[in-house]
Amino acid sequence: MDGGIQPTRPAELASNELMGDGGNGAIFIGTKGKMMCGTYGINPQLLPTSKTATANVPKTLMRVPNGDEGHYAAWIEASMAGYGSEKAKNLSSNFDIAGPLTESVLMGNLAIRSTNIQVKKGNDTEYPGRHIKLLWDGPAMRITNFDEANQFVKRTYRNGWSLGV
């Protein structure tokens, strides 16, 4: 949920339960069910929320001691140790995890920006980017089913300017 744009309230959520944290959050729709959380992933809940209390999820990934503060401390320690150091390799949010996570978060930005793409048809204006599921091809770095959205993925730099990659 961002900028007032909110998804349809899940049927699995009871009428007296907040969606996300009331003003922000995320809903994840998977093949085996749905879950939601508040801002920054706080208070993750299975839907219906009664499933959360009975869920037995094995903790297969390392947990960061001291929560948010632990992330900041680990980043500083890895920075001080330097590139390629064991501290950098063992960073709780290393690029193997952070890269795909960042791609998924940025997909939300693409979806929001795509809702305002306009196509004129005579005197009418249509918004073809609304109410569609954008399909992402990570290796190709592009949306495959709505080409107009790709204008937000990469930019064309003026002559003489580039990122040098």
- How does pLDDT run across 102-148, given as a tens digit for each residue? 888 899 899 999 999 999 999 999 999 998 999 999 899 999 999 99
pLDDT, position 2:
57
Length of the chain: 165
CA 113 to chain CA mean position, Å? 14
Which residues, in sequence order, are bridge partners of residue 35? 28, 46
Average pLDDT over residues 62-77: 79
Residue 85 exposed, middle or buried by CB count within 10 Å (0-12, 13-18, 19+) = middle
- State how far the Cα of 81 lies from the Cα of 111, in Å rounded to an integer: 38
Greatest CA span in the chain, whole angstroms? Answer: 62
- Sign, Cα dihedral of 116, 99, 141, 161: positive
Rg of the Cα atoms in the chain = 20
Identity at 30, one-letter amino acid code: G
- State how far the Cα of 151 lies from the Cα of 114, in Å rounded to an integer: 10
Residue 129 exposed, middle or buried by CB count within 10 Å (0-12, 13-18, 19+) = buried
**pLDDT surpasses 90 at 83:** no
pLDDT, position 48:
95
